[in-house]
Every structure is written in C-alpha cells, then in structure tokens.
Amino acid sequence: MARDHGFHPVRITRVVRETDDARTFVLDAPWPYRAGQFVTFRACGALRSYSMSSSPDTDGELMTTVKRVPGGLVSNWMLDNLESGDVVEVTRPAGIFCLRETSAPLVAFCGGSGVTPILSLVKSALATTRRNVRVLLANRDADAVIFRSVLAELSELHPDRLEVHHHLDVLNGFVTETQIRNFVNVDSHADFYICGPAPFMDLTERALRDHGAGADQIFVERFGSADASPAEQAEQAEQAERPEAQAADAAEAAPEEPKAAAEEPREDGTVTIVLGGKKHTVPQHPGETLLQSARRAGLAPPFSCEAGNCATCIAQITAGEAKMRVNNALDDDEVAEGLILTCQGEPVSADITVVYED
C-alpha cells in the first residue's frame, strides 16, 4: 500500500506542560509529514487522533498536543501517566488539513485545542511563503489559552505578516457570526482554516459562506462524529474540547446501524474483505459501507471516527470500485491509487475487494 497506517512503537522524548489541562508530547519519530496533519494513538484499548503542533519546516522534532477531556479515556490517561522515556503506539502522520500552493492570505479560526494544527500551519506559512497570516483564537479564559507565548514570539518575529486576536468567552461571550465576518474584513479572497468544537466550526463555516467565501477556500478539521446530535454538540461546546476525544468511545459503543425492514441483499453483488491475510465474502447490501459489510461478515477491522476524518479504517481496493461519502483524510493521489476510507466507501461495482494492511 502507498501509505503505512499500521501502529508503531514510538518513544516520548519530552512532555511539555502547555496549560493545566494540555500537554505536548515530543515523539522520537523521524517521519516526514505536512503541516496540519495528525497521528493516531492506540491506548487503553481505544484509538484517538491528535494533531501535530510542530511544523516540518521549523521544528526538528515531531510534537503532538493533547488537551484533557472531562471523562475522556485516552486524554486523561496520557496526561496523568505518560512521561519522558515511555513508549506509545502511534500511526504515521495522515490528514489533508494542509496548506495549498497560493499567495492568498491565510485566515484561521480556532477554538480551544483546535489551535494545535493551526499553529503547525502558521509556522510553515510564515517560514516558507510570503503570505499574510491572521488567527482568531477563542478560549474560555486566559488560563485556557494554549501556545500563547509561541504565538506571541511568532508575532514579534513577523510583525508585518502575522496578526493574532484572542477572544475570551468570559469577557466577550461566545464568538458570533458578525465577529467572524468582521475579522475576515477585506481578506475575502483568503484561504480559511477552521478547527475547534463542532458548534464553533459550524458557526464559523456558515458565517464565511454567508460572507461569500467559496467551498474551495474553506478547510475544516473534524475529528468528531459527522452525525452528532444537537445535544451531543452542545455538550462538546460546554466542555470546549475537540470532539475527537469522545468520538472513538461513541464509535466503540455504537451498535451496528439497523437496516430498513424492506432492505434485501443484492443477489448480484458481493463485498470481499481481506483482513489478517484471510478472505471473507458477503452479499452487498444497498447503502452499506465497506466497514459495515466487514462487520456483518463477523470481522473487527480498524476504525475510529466513522466520519471520514481520521484514516484509521483505510484499506486498498484491489478489484471493483467504490465512492466515498466524505473524505477528509486521503489526497487525490492516494484515492487514484485505490486507497479507500472503508467507513465512508460504498460499492459502485457489482463486486469489490478491499484489503486491510496486516
């Protein structure tokens, strides 16, 4: 396969305290990566994806930053237990929340620990381009601001190119669509990057579209479930946490989606899954993803977010074709090579074979 999504033992070289509830883990992992990408950890019997706060253009070490989630299985374990010298299981970097080649300004909106991939992008943009960069960073209060000193240093180094605006909810209330449009101001031709709690991202994207931004200008990093209920989204907003920290727990606990009573297997179509070197074939079911077909075959393939974001469920199509409902993890070249997010892939050919990496 073109991309290695297996888990590898990686040693932690340093743990940096960012705030009371956020830590940066410096990893001894000399892998190539792009600014804005993430890695996936396997810990406590669960999978979690966390973005890099480092940049390959400015940092000699790979760093990922984790914020504690109230009741979160993995984030709490990592912050309470991991120390320098410990070994963790991690995938190689993945994700497409990256810079594109353009001279347009970069305008970013981040909430809470959503600043993590934004910092990576900002570092690379300042180091490798002449683009102007503006960041609106929303937090509950001053003590919750991650990377305040790093952003201040970058602002001092690039006073004519970097503007950072801190929005504190305790002083100014929650960010509004009007404030987002006002922050954009004359930079309507910019590339817009958004990361944070789901309600914050939805509001920001809506405000940008209403302000005239095109879909090709807006880049959103989502780790949470694509179909979270309003109550779940409200809970995420109240916790001011990145949604990926709860996503895998929900995915593990969620039962297989019920099928409509009138739905019948297609007699003329099959899905063949190769997992662990063993082949399993089941009839196609209309509207069923490849991951759902694999589960129906009694298999337990890897997955995490089930929203097309984390790439944990990646497999290789070796025969047939499929389409993806959502793809926020694979680039065009990887799709052309036959890689598929099985949680989002639906067969479009009568027969299809997908192979999970051993």
- Give yes or no: residues 69 and 128 share one domain: no
| pLDDT for res 63 | 97
pLDDT for the residue numbered 5: 58
215: domain CATH number is 3.40.50.80
CA dist., res. 40 & res. 116, Å (int): 15
Can you give the pLDDT at residue 143?
95
In a domain, 264, yes or no: no
Q: Is the pLDDT of residue 263 over 50?
A: no
Residue 257 pLDDT: 38
Confidence of residue 222 (pLDDT cuts 50, 70, 90): confident
**271 pLDDT exceeds 90?**
yes
* pTM of the model as a whole: 0.75
Which pLDDT belongs to residue 120?
98
Provide the terminal-to-terminal Cα distance of the chain, rounded to the nearest Å.
10
* Percentage of the residues of the chain whose pLDDT score is greater than 90: 70
**One domain for residues 76 and 141:** no
220-234, 244-258, 314-328: range with lowest mean pLDDT:
244-258
Average pLDDT, rounded, for the chain: 86
Residue 350 in any domain: the answer is yes
Q: Is the pLDDT of residue 304 over 50?
A: yes
Task: Grade residue 232 by pLDDT with cuts at 50, 70 and 90.
Answer: very low
User: 204-208, 249-253, 288-292, 340-344: which range is least confident on average?
Assistant: 249-253
Q: Are residues 23 and 63 in the same domain?
A: yes
For the cut 70, the answer to whether the pLDDT of residue 245 exceeds it is: no
Of residues 311 and 160, which shows the higher confidence score? Answer: 160
Q: Is the pLDDT of residue 32 over 80?
A: yes
Residue 216 and residue 126 share a domain: yes
The residue segments making up the domain with residue 143 are 106-226+235-239
Q: Is 239 helix (H, G, I), strand (E, B) or coil?
A: helix
Same domain, 299 and 338: yes
Same domain, 212 and 113: yes
Asked if residue 90 and residue 67 are part of one domain, the reply reads: yes
Q: Of 94, 114, 134, which residue sits at a domain end?
A: 94
User: Closest Cα to residue 56, out of 128, 116, 149, 113?
Assistant: 128
What's the pLDDT score for residue 256? Answer: 38
Q: Is residue 349 part of a domain?
A: yes
Same domain, 138 and 71: no
Listed residues 32, 64, 94: the one ending a domain: 94
Q: What is the CATH number of the domain that holds 318?
A: 3.10.20.30
As for how many domains the chain has, the answer is 3
- The tens digit of pLDDT for each residue in 163-174 reads 999 999 999 999
Cα radius of gyration rounded to whole Å, the chain: 21
Q: Which of 28, 62, 94 is the last residue of a domain?
A: 94
For the segment 85-138, what is each residue's pLDDT rounded down to a tens digit?
999 999 889 888 999 999 999 999 999 999 999 999 999 999 999 999 999 999
Verify that 112 and 172 share a domain, yes or no. yes
- Based on the fold, state whether residues 194 and 217 are members of the same structural domain: yes
Q: Write the DSSP string, 170-227.
A: HHH-S--HHHHHHHHTT-TTSEEEEESSHHHHHHHHHHHHHTT--GGGEEEE--S-TT
Q: Which helix (H) or strand (E) holds 75?
A: helix 73-81
Residues 326 and 214 placed together within one structural domain of the fold = no
Q: Which residue type sits at 67?
A: K
